[in-house]
Structures are given as C-alpha cells and as structure tokens.
Amino acid sequence: MEVFRNAFKGFDASNLDFANAGNWPIGVRIICYLLVIALIVAGGIHFYITDKQEGLKRVVSKEAGLKNAYKSKALQVANLDALRLQMKDVEGRFKELLKQLPTEKEVPGLLDDITNLGTSAGLNIGTIVLASEKRLDFYRELPIKISVTGSYHQLGQFVSGVAGLPRIVTMHNYNIQPSGNGVAMSIEAKTYRYDDTK
C-alpha cells in the first residue's frame, strides 16, 4: 500500500498539465499509458473484428447456395454414366433419323418413288413439281406440289404409300374436288434434309 501511495505522491488531479506530463507521478503516467494502450487495442480489435464479421456474414450467406450447387453437381456426377449412355442413344437415334432424310442426290429418286406410287395406285398424274426449298433452323424443307385424279380408294392407296416411304415425307394443304367419274386432289408433300452448312 505504501508503494501505491508513493506512486501518486504529490498528485493533484486539478493541476494536471499535459505540457508537463513527463513530471506527473509514475502511477498517473502508468494509468495514462494503460488507458491509451487500452483505447488503441480496443479500437483495433473493434475495426478488425467488424471487418471480419462482415466477411463472415457474406460467406455464411453464400453457404446455402454453395450447398445446393454441391448437391446438384454431386447428383450430376452420380448420374454421369447414365447420362452418357442416354446421350449415346440419342446420337444413335439422330443418325437413324438423318438417314431417313433425303440428300440432294436422292431428291430426284424420291420424286420418282412418288410418281411410281401414284401410277401403281391407278391415279392420273397431273403434276409432281419440286418447289423452292426453305431454310429453317437446322434443316431445309423441300415442298413438292402434287396434283392427281382418280377414285377415293386410289387416293387413299397413294397417300398410304407415300406415308410408308423409307424417307420422311409429310402431307399438307390438301384439296379434293369432284372431277368427272372420280376426284381431283392437289396436295403439298414436304420432305426435309439436314442443313449441315450451319
């Protein structure tokens, strides 16, 4: 206790002069040094921790999204072999469908097949004309204008034969009118070919 009294000997708080702080009693100077150090440490900790807490909040807010992304990626990895097998199957089917589309060289043969179907069904062929092709997304559409006359039964046989061709041919915009002893039909057939220029 005596040491404590000696440390503050001659101390009068009302006469503290900051210009003569070096002459203050040792106890007062130690307390002032401790207060300044405490303020510096407290300020440093406050600003350091505040910054770290903000960073922590940002990271925690991303956690849920990262967990969902992880689950999604894990599910994809778990199904990767099945997806590869499915992709291989789709590519095989796509190649099979491409084989059903006529190439430029096969279009005249397709027109001959349609003509043969019409004559074998007993129809009188008016016209079978290839119209100008239309370029669409990844394929080209080749319209074929057809006009024939015959009986209803013969028209049905012809349309059924066209539907049974090994190439993809669809029928559109038909018009059937009575004509003499039978009917006249105008129809637009469309075939498609893969546009490999894109």
pLDDT in tens, 93-130: 877 776 766 666 677 788 888 889 899 989 888 888 88
CA 175 from chain centre, in angstroms, equals: 42
Report how far residue 43's alpha carbon sits from residue 58's, in angstroms, rounded to the nearest whole number.
Answer: 23
pLDDT in tens, 59-68: 888 888 889 9
Asked whether residue 5 carries a pLDDT value surpassing 60, the answer given is: no
How would CATH label the architecture of 102-194?
A: 2-Layer Sandwich (3.30)
- Which carries the bigger pLDDT value, residue 193 or residue 134? 134
Asked whether residue 9 carries a pLDDT value surpassing 70, the answer given is: no
Start and end residues for every CATH 3.30.70.60 domain found in the chain: 102-194
Report how far residue 32's alpha carbon sits from residue 38's, in angstroms, rounded to the nearest whole number.
Answer: 10
